Chains A and B, each alone.
Chain A
């Protein structure tokens, strides 16, 4: 079915919604637009039918099984949306004074605390607006840390070759040099390559654990020791936190900074590609550098800490305080689950992945790391099938979609 463009609908001169307005402004002619923009001119019913039909052309969690690796597609509870859209919360101006903000601030403060607990970190900033911005904040904090110690030569970020494309792109955006290191046949990092890569220029390493290959990096303590001994810091990409939530934490593994994709682990909507939210957590030594604003609790209530209170901060990364509406959805989700529920969603995600892995193995597919446990995802190799029949991984993916 092909739905025409909204511009192709019969123009009937617009809809009933109009606001009382003067015919023209008193602005000088030189500032005014001479040409009309080409916006649609249709009725509300046409708009409703058109966008309802378009929505039906999507594949979504609410309509389909969504076994997509790397993206943690989980159910988005309806209460998270409806409660985050209460009129008072939606109409709150970002610069509203504290007396009209205590409800929102209390939620955000508690969210900071819960994320801190779940990651084993000592401080959290909620402001990054997506995972990639959380990464930017994380690398900028690592740079600020080295700079404060007059350690100016450290501009290399180590990234495993299997890492998500944003990791190297972020390092470059921060002005760092990317050093890629290989992964071993069993899915763990090549420790010798790491040892050879670290040195006085190492700013840090960016890792996900479980990795993008779907397995838990078993040598994580040794990796942490090597990088720390070389003077570098460890960055945890939270893309796969869902697989270990409540079982271990980035803090326990020795990471210094972590970004979380709230739209993955904490079930805020993917929304057809955003808005995301990329809160960052840090160990004690990086706390002064957290991006602002932060929510703080004082004797007189909750308030924002910004430029004046956090002089060493890497600064502001959004016009206001990040994607608050998304943060509220994550808050509601975490409060509904509680500590026990968070651990449970992780257990069942890992159960499902291991179950499907075993079933596909039995069906004759080659599991990339068959000797390993799956995390919340795993990789199938169709190399042999491709060699024998010409049918590629892409063909399988598309056939499953069909």
Chain B
């Protein structure tokens, strides 16, 4: 029997010891009219070789197009050691580390992860991770409202340059607690600093800054941070952690630095995998750590004075505080964090910086080459990290379809998210996009535009 070690002798001996005649007897407390004989409609079991063929077929159907899409999930190279180590049974099949003495491996990994994230973001204390970037952002909003002692407001200012799905998820999660997310307008692909004046002197709990923002553009983080702090609001940074190997870390923004940083950990060694599992990171200043959701691992010594690791500050959490907990979350994304920790350990500062630089350079090259085609131009003038918005002289969807027909995922069509931008396309080229890939993309795009020209004029 698949995955069941019992022999028929085991079965009879065990039933006899229990005092039951059949397995059915063990379910005799379920009222008879509620019982079922089988799972209606469920398929028959498959052997491992059958399911293996099926999954290979399904994977082949999806294929491997060349990806120039970003928008929150990035196609970075992951060294072999990362997932070979991460999927070791001792990590993969371990339980959540409530019992410290049975979980020293996982706890030390998380402790190392927290140390790396604190250093990368320039802030004090990292938690053990949350579900994904969008939910980490939602939790940061809840946290900021709890943590801002100077404000009674449940309002948070959120620029339209923040990932639209992050804003949507945050709205869905915080609305139960009557928290209001107020849109801040944008100008030239970044938060409109002049438009902040409208909110000056009003009471709000926090201001959000995404760096790089959804369009890949770099925000004026210093000015925004200083303005928010002058208004007695907290600053929530949403940052791509890979970009922070190159860009000013949230802890050093403006005069005082951001108060909370959060975001998507996927760029650090986690495959795109259709959008998950990823993990959300969150790091904050020491003075507000008691408002932080999720687990935190600390280093301590045991009764014999030997160093060890354990979950700490658990009085914030649902298994202790029940309905008064900082969040209902009781898991983190342990395995993904394990992968990221190994990824960062392998690459180090220099490796991470080179991935960031190469991604930036490839994107610069891609934009330059695409904008040389008549009918394509940059939407904004602000500097970008590894993503940028292009404006086309025609609707984006048919262009993307034509590119897809040549095996190229040409980017993300923004016309639904931001109709005010017109025919806008978000493109991204990570370090894994070779000059050959970029050449293919540019050639395919040229072909699309040339054929269209011919058709229009012919």
Structural contact, A326 and B277, CB atoms closer than 8 A: yes
In the complex, whether A226 has a CB less than 8 A from a CB of chain B is no
**CB distance A246 to B44 under 8 Å?**
no
State the CA gap A99–B408 with chains docked (Å). Answer: 12
- The number of chain B residues with a CB under 8 A from chain A is 173
Mark out the residues of chain B between 375 and 422 whose CB falls within 8 Å of any chain A CB in the assembled complex: 383, 385, 400-401, 404, 409, 412
B29 touches A37 (CB 8 A): no
Residues of B within 8 A of A60 (CB): 89-95
The answer to whether A341 touches B45 (Cβ under 8 A) is: yes
How many Å lie between the Cα of A34 and that of B246 in the bound state? 9
Q: Known: A21-B357, A48-B85, A85-B83. Is A323-B277 also a contact (CB below 8 A)?
A: yes
A129 at the interface (CB under 8 A from B): yes
Chain A residues, Cβ within 8 Å of B43: 114, 335, 338-339
List chain B residues, Cβ under 8 A from A73.
95
Q: Can you list, as one digit per residue, whether each of A156-181 has a CB less than 8 Å from chain B (1) or not (0)?
A: 00000000011011111111101000
| Interface residue tally for chain A (C-beta within 8 Å) | 167
The reply on B331 being an interface residue by CB < 8 A is yes
Residues from chain B with Cβ under 8 Å of A26 in the complex: 364
Return chain A residues, CB-CB under 8 Å to B330.
130-132, 165-166
| Least CB separation from A24: chain B residue | B357
Chain A-chain B contacts (Cβ-Cβ < 8 Å), number: 571
In the assembled complex, how far is the CB of residue B242 from the closest CB belonging to chain A, in whole angstroms?
11
Q: Give CA–CA (A15, B342) in the complex, Å.
A: 13
Q: Given the complex, which residues of B lie within 8 Å of A39, measured CB to CB?
A: 116, 119-120, 344-345, 347-349, 352
Q: Which residue of B lies closest to A221 (CB)?
A: B31
Q: Is B147 an interface residue (CB 8 A)?
A: no
Q: Does A192 contact B (CB under 8 A)?
A: no
Q: Would you list which residues of chain A between 342 and 359 have a CB under 8 Å from chain B?
A: 342-345, 347-348, 350-352, 354-355, 358-359
Q: Report chain B residues within 8 Å CB of A200.
A: none
Bound-complex Cα distance A66 to B103 (A) = 13
CB of B152 within 8 A of chain A? no
Contact status B51-A336, CB under 8 Å: yes
CA distance A174 to B176 in the complex (A): 4
Contacts of B320 in A (CB 8 A): 165
Are the CB atoms of A21 and B92 closer together than 8 Å? no
Task: Tell me whether B276 and A323 are in contact (CB under 8 A).
Answer: yes
Chain B residue with Cβ nearest A68: B95
- CB-CB under 8 A from A326, the residues of chain B are 276-277
Residue pair B31, A218 in contact (C-beta under 8 Å): yes
B51–chain A nearest beta-carbon distance, Å: 5
Q: Are the C-beta atoms of B93 and A103 separated by less than 8 Å? A: no
Q: Looking at the complex, which one of B51, B169, B360 makes contact with A335 (CB distance below 8 Å)?
A: B51
Whether A324 touches B274, Cβ cut-off 8 Å, given contacts A71-B95, A91-B67, is yes
Task: Report chain B residues within 8 Å CB of A54.
Answer: 104-106, 108-109
Select one of B79, B171, B412 contacting A17, CB under 8 A: B79
B306 part of interface (Cβ distance < 8 Å): yes
Given contacts A21-B357, A218-B29, contact A31 B248 (CB under 8 A): yes
6 residue pairs, one from A and one from B, having the closest CB atoms = A320-B275, A62-B89, A339-B42, A94-B275, A338-B45, A271-B335
- Sample of 12 further A-B pairs with CB below 8 A, known A117-B42, A272-B91, A320-B276: A21-B353, A31-B218, A37-B245, A42-B348, A60-B95, A129-B135, A175-B177, A220-B31, A316-B165, A318-B131, A319-B72, A320-B165
| 15 CB-based A-B contacts, threshold 8 Å | A7-B115, A27-B385, A31-B248, A36-B349, A37-B120, A106-B61, A113-B41, A131-B330, A136-B328, A169-B323, A272-B96, A315-B171, A325-B274, A341-B45, A373-B29
